[in-house]
Amino acid sequence: MPGKVIVVGGGLAGLSAAARLAHNGYQVTLLEKAPKLGGRAISIPLKGFNFNFGAHAIYARDKSILRKYESEIGLQVDWKDFSPSKAFYDVGSYTTPMPATLEGLYRTKILDSQNKLRFAYEVIKTLISINRGEKGVPIGEYLQKEPKQIRDLMLTLASSNFFTNEPERIPSPLFFEYYKRLFATQKAVSYIGGGWQAIVDAFTQIIESHGGKIITKEKVLKVEWKDRHIQKIIGKNAEYIADHYIFCIPPKELNQIFAETPLSTTIAEYAKYTPTQVVVYDVGLKQRIPSPYTYIYHKAQKVFITDISYYDTTCVPEGGQLMQAIAYLNEEDIQEKRADEKISLIESVYNKHFPNWRELLVAKRVSKKAIVQEIKCIDDQQLMPTKFYQCQNAFFAGDWCQGVGQLSELSFNSAYNVTSQIMKLQKVATTVA
C-alpha cells in the first residue's frame, strides 16, 4: 500500500503535492510554519476587496499542469479567460493593441507591415523548433541579428512574462522553450475566480477529505540523516518520520535545515541566487472607471496595470473595481532603494490611464519588494533539481525548481513531477514484492 509522506511548506507546490498524494492513498502530513496556508499565494480581505498577494495569472491555460490536477484529483478551478483584444501597449505618445493574436498583430502600431510578417514568421519558427536558442547565449545577444522592431517586441514580451526589467539576460534556450509552449496555446492568459484563496481552499479540501493531515505553526528546524536517507524531520513542536519527504520551501530555508548534512554545500549554491522581485501597487475603487482595455503595459517604464475585477467580480464589492500594478526591480534598483521611484511611476501610469482614481480610492496595498519567483531565470542562475543523488527519499518542489513554465506554473509542475516519481517508486516496490 502507499506509504507515508511528509510535505514541508504549505504554498502552491506543497498543497498541490500533498493533495495529489492524499488523493492517491498516501498518508500525507503537511507542515507549514505560518498560521495560514498559501505561502506567497494568498488573498487579503480589506474593506470589502480581496487583494491577491501577487499576480494570479496562469499562462497557457490549456497546457497548464493545473488541467491535470483538475482531471486526476478533482481540483475545481473557476477559469476567467483574459481578453487579448483589451490588452494594449503604452509607447509614450500613443497606445496600441498588443500583438497577442492575429487580429492584434494586424491592428498594432508597434510593428510596421514588413515586420508584422517577419514577426509571424519568427513565431512559426519558434513553434517548429527552428528557433531554439544557444547554450551560454542570452536572448538579448541572440536576437541581435533581428530587425530592431522584432528584437524590441520579443524582449518586451519576455519582460512581461518573466516579470523582469532585464529580459535581455534570459538564457536563449529557455526563452524559446517558454514561447514555443505559449505561442501554441489557445488561452494565453487566464485568471482564477476567487483568486489564490480559491486554489488554496480547493487543495486543502482535497487533502483533508482524503485523510491528509495539515499542521500549521510548525517550523522545521533540521533533518536527521543516515546512509543517503532522511531518518526524520525535527520540528519546533514534534518529530516526524515518513517514507518520503517533499520540501517545498525556498533554498535559503533549505540551507538552514540541511546545514549538517552532505547536501549542505549543494543547496548553499542555490541559496546564493537572486530572486525575481517587483513593486506591487493594488488599488480598490468604489466604482469602475470606463476604459477600452483591461491590461496596459507602459513600455518605457516597464510598468503594467491589470483590471483584475473585470475578470473576477468576486474580489470587489458591487460596482467596485480592483486593479493591480506591477513595476519590475533589478539588483541595482534594490541596492539603490528605488522602490519609492517605482511607486511614483506606477501612480503616473494610473493617472494617465485611469483619471480620478484617487477620488474613488477605498483601499490600497503596496509592497515595495515582493518576491514573485525565488530564483530569477537570468544568466547562469540555475533552477534547483527536484531530486539529488545524495539523498534517496528527499524531493524538492517550488518556483525555484526545475520544471515547465515560469512563476506559479513552476510550482505546480515541479510538485506534479515529484509526486509522479514517488508514485512510480511505489509501483516498482509493489511489482518487486
4-53+194-273+379-432 topology per CATH: FAD/NAD(P)-binding domain (3.50.50)
Per-residue pLDDT, 60 = 84
Higher pLDDT, residue 431 or 198: 198
Burial class (CB in 10 A: 0-12, 13-18, 19+), 154: buried
pLDDT band for position 356 (cuts 50, 70, 90)? very high
Alpha-carbon gap, residue 118 to 133, rounded angstroms: 18
276-373 topology per CATH: Polyamine Oxidase; Chain A, domain 2 (3.90.660)
Sequence-distant (≥ 6) Cβ neighbours of residue 291 within 8 angstroms = 307, 353, 354
- Give tens-digit pLDDT for 75-86: 999 999 999 889
Per-residue pLDDT, 55 = 66
**3-state secondary structure string across the chain:** CCCEEEEECCCHHHHHHHHHHHHCCCEEEEEECCCCCCCCCCEEEECCEEEECCCCCEECHHHCCHHHHHHHHCCCCCEEECCHHHEEEECCCCEEECCCCHHHHHHCCCCCHHHHHHHHHHHHHHHCCCCCCCCCCEHHHHHHHCCHHHHHHHHHHHHHHHCCCCHHHCEHHHHHHHHHHHHCCCCCEEEECCHHHHHHHHHHHHHHHCCCEEEECCCEEEEEEECCEEEEEEECCCEECCCEEEECCCHHHHHHHCCCCCCHHHHHHHHCCCCEEEEEEEEEECCCCCCCCCEEEECCCCEEEEEHHHHCHHHCCCCCEEEEEEEEECHHHHHCCCHHHHHHHHHHHHHHHCCCCCCCEEEEEEEEEEEEECCCCCCCCCCECCCCCCCCCEEECCCCECCCCCCHHHHHHHHHHHHHHHHHHHHHHHHHC
Query: Does pLDDT of 62 surpass 80?
Result: yes
Query: Does pLDDT of 46 surpass 80?
Result: yes
Sequence-distant (≥ 6) Cβ neighbours of residue 363 within 8 angstroms = 46, 47, 48, 49, 51, 283, 284
What sign does the dihedral 416-306-97-301 (CA atoms) show?
Answer: negative
pLDDT band for position 301 (cuts 50, 70, 90)? confident
The stretch 159-176 carries a mean pLDDT of 93
Q: CA distances (Å), 227 to each of 231, 261, 425, in order?
A: 9, 11, 19
The stretch 110-117 carries a mean pLDDT of 92
Structural domain boundaries of the chain? 4-53+194-273+379-432, 96-186, 276-373
Strands 321-329, 244-247: pairing kind = unpaired
Query: Does pLDDT of 54 surpass 70?
Result: no
Least confident of 186-195, 207-216, 290-299, 415-424: 186-195
Q: Share the mean pLDDT of the chain.
A: 93
Higher pLDDT, residue 59 or 247: 247
pLDDT band for position 160 (cuts 50, 70, 90)? confident
Least confident of 4-8, 24-28, 134-138, 179-183: 179-183
Query: Does pLDDT of 1 surpass 70?
Result: no
pLDDT band for position 313 (cuts 50, 70, 90)? very high
Burial class (CB in 10 A: 0-12, 13-18, 19+), 301: middle
